Amino acid sequence: MSERAKTGLPTTKAGRLRQLLAGPSPVRAVGSHDGLTAKLVQQAGFDAVWASSFEISASHGLPDASLVTMTQYLDAAAAMDAVTDIPVIADCDTGFGGPMNMAYAVQRYARIGIAAMCVEDKLFPKINSFADTDQDLLPAEEFALKIKAGREALAGGDMVLVARTEALIAGRDMEEALDRGRTYAAAGADAVLVHSKSRRPDEVLEFAARWDLDVPLVAVPTTYGTVSEQELYQAGFRLVIYANQGLRAAVRAVGETLRELNAAGTAHSVDGRIAPMSEVFALQGMPSSYHTKP
């Protein structure tokens, strides 16, 4: 038995995530789309990486609309996991198909050590939750079959399954959102993510106040960003995901830098706003003896 096992500490990232979810403070995850951005998430001090389908799709120059394949998502998550010590939570859209597809995906993600998978109850092909269009939901009982299939495929493994309900995104009432969450928990979900695009946190806070199961809740405060992590934790949310702020920051910063470079026609014009090569080398794990000053 290893020394780590003797101490009772988790031996997998999934086990570590489960420990964090049961801890005295919110688990904080940040969206990423590749190994470099995952390293930045860890370096900034967050607890977990959210392998965001939105960010991964955007990194391919594509809409978040079920265009990227399972293999592409899996490869991206694997790259993030390989270069970080913190758990990776994979955003797997609708589970890549029906229950059999879900079971296969769970096995593939678990095999490479991904700590958690999150799937949502929209119809395939899905469209991003914040797109200005109607959102179609799968019947709750059918989605529960996916969760059940995923749980059975784990065969006792410790990967965390997160069921995400888009009921509030689709304009359904609170009662349906709660019923869906309860159904998914009964099917084997380890945590329930309730999504909302309200500008205020009232919807998710009401959901939490009425949640009557001992199953952790997950929040994604993209539009209701004024609420604090501690407020969400006190309401019952154990995982808070900042799903896309990193990518949006990069788009703004890179765009502004390139426009300035184009206007000035000299590399020196942007030196003050870009990272030195040595900083990138450090993120890459380049030996310090090879670092340069530029």
Q: What is the pLDDT of residues 224-267, one digit of tens each?
A: 999 999 999 999 999 999 999 999 999 999 999 999 999 999 99
pLDDT at 6 over 50: no
**Statement to judge: residues 194 and 284 lie in one domain:** no
**Statement to judge: residues 47 and 83 lie in one domain:** yes
pLDDT at 3 over 50: no
Of 64, 81, 91, 158, which residue is the catalytic one?
64
Q: Which residue has the higher pLDDT, 229 or 156?
A: 229
**Statement to judge: residues 235 and 263 lie in one domain:** no
Please give the Cα distance from 7 to 154 (Å, whole number): 25
Domain boundary among 222, 243, 264: 243
Place of tokens 């990194």: 59
Closest among 54, 5, 46 to 28, alpha carbons compared: 46
> Which percentage of the chain shows pLDDT scores above 70?
95
pLDDT at 188 over 50: yes
**Statement to judge: residues 233 and 280 lie in one domain:** no
Q: Of 85-94, 131-140, 188-197, which gets the smallest average pLDDT? A: 131-140
**Statement to judge: residues 66 and 149 lie in one domain:** yes
Domain boundary among 207, 225, 243: 243
In contact, 4 and 208? CB cutoff 8 Å: no
**Statement to judge: residues 75 and 204 lie in one domain:** yes
Provide the residue type at 157 as one letter: G
**Which residues are registered as beta bridge partners of 31?**
50
**Statement to judge: residues 37 and 143 lie in one domain:** yes
Number of domains in the chain: 2
**Statement to judge: residues 237 and 258 lie in one domain:** no
DSSP characters over the chain: --HHHHHT--SSHHHHHHHHHTSSS-EEEEEESSHHHHHHHHHTT-SEEEE-HHHHHHHTT--SSS-S-HHHHHHHHHHHHHT-SS-EEEE-TT-SSSHHHHHHHHHHHHHTT--EEEEE-BPSSP--TTSSS---B--HHHHHHHHHHHHHHHTT--PEEEEEE-TTTTT--HHHHHHHHHHHHHHT-SEEEE----SSTHHHHHHHHH--SSS-EEE--SS-TTS-HHHHHHHTEEEEEE-SHHHHHHHHHHHHHHHHHHHH-SGGGGGGGS--HHHHHHHHT--GGG----
Confidence of residue 164 (pLDDT cuts 50, 70, 90): very high
pLDDT digits (tens, 9 = 90+) for 7-32: 456 789 999 999 999 999 999 999 99
Confidence of residue 131 (pLDDT cuts 50, 70, 90): confident
Confidence of residue 292 (pLDDT cuts 50, 70, 90): low
**Statement to judge: residues 266 and 123 lie in one domain:** no
pLDDT digits (tens, 9 = 90+) for 194-231: 999 999 999 999 999 999 999 999 999 999 999 999 99
pLDDT at 1 over 60: no
Confidence of residue 130 (pLDDT cuts 50, 70, 90): confident
> Which percentage of the chain shows pLDDT scores above 90?
87
Place of tokens 């199961």: 213
**Statement to judge: residues 256 and 172 lie in one domain:** no
Helical axes 277-284 vs 35-43, angle rounded to 10°? 100
Nearest 5°: the CA angle 12, 15, 16 is: 90
How large is the average pLDDT for residues 64-86? 97
pLDDT at 291 over 90: no
**Statement to judge: residues 265 and 187 lie in one domain:** no
**Statement to judge: residues 205 and 278 lie in one domain:** no
Distant-in-sequence, close-in-space partners of 221: CB < 8 Å, separation ≥ 6: 201, 227, 232, 240, 242
Residue 121 annotated among the catalytic residues of the structure = no
pLDDT at 122 over 60: yes
**Average pLDDT for the chain:** 94
CATH code at position 101: 3.20.20.60
Domain around 285? 252-290
Q: Which residue has the higher pLDDT, 135 or 231?
A: 231
